[in-house]
Amino acid sequence: MAQEDTRKIGILLFPDVEELDAIGPWEVLSYWTRTFPEDGWQVFCFSADGKPVACAKGLTVEAHHAMADLPGLDVLLHPGGRGTRPQLEDDQHLEWVRSQRRSVPLMTSVCTGSLVYAAAGLLAGRPATTHWASLDRLAELDPSIDVRPDERFVDDGDMITSAGISAGIDMALHLVARLVSPERARQVRRGIQYDPQPPV
């Protein structure tokens, strides 16, 4: 499949992004796209300036692209973490998010990434979720949101929000099932041996 025909998923990186919010979905999506290239998808990470990003717990992650040279996306994934707090009042970032909404067919978020979508006005009147500790904040940002506190992720067509941190893995597997098939998602889940059995 020609590179220009490959559909693209972009994972946003920013200072103080929660590591697993980005890396969990990356593991799922990169395993899928590398193992099954015939499906016609690729995934990459990007940051505002294309430079490495220091995450919330000290991990530094490199970006593949800067926003300025970002290829056209079919799916955007906005993670959460402490770094989303300043974004809620960052007019430039919120306008960038709105611009993506105008051109990207499917917007997704992990954890408090949904707070940014709410602040940008993208979740008005829609069902959504976020990290359990930020559910009230989500409702405060836009009282019209149908907050779903008990759902691991909420698929509302062109917008998918997921709950806290590790829920991004489940959301990414759901993405594979939706974009290709449930069987493909099962293959990916088995490939990364994701079969949670918490010890407590």
Structure tokens belonging to residue 6: 């490959």
45 a catalytic residue: no
Tokens at residue 141, please? 């940002």
Query: Which listed residue (12, 111, 179, 180) is catalytic?
Result: 111
- Angstrom CA distances, 168 to 96, 108, 186, 191, 192, stand at 22, 10, 16, 17, 14
Q: Which residues are catalytic?
A: 111
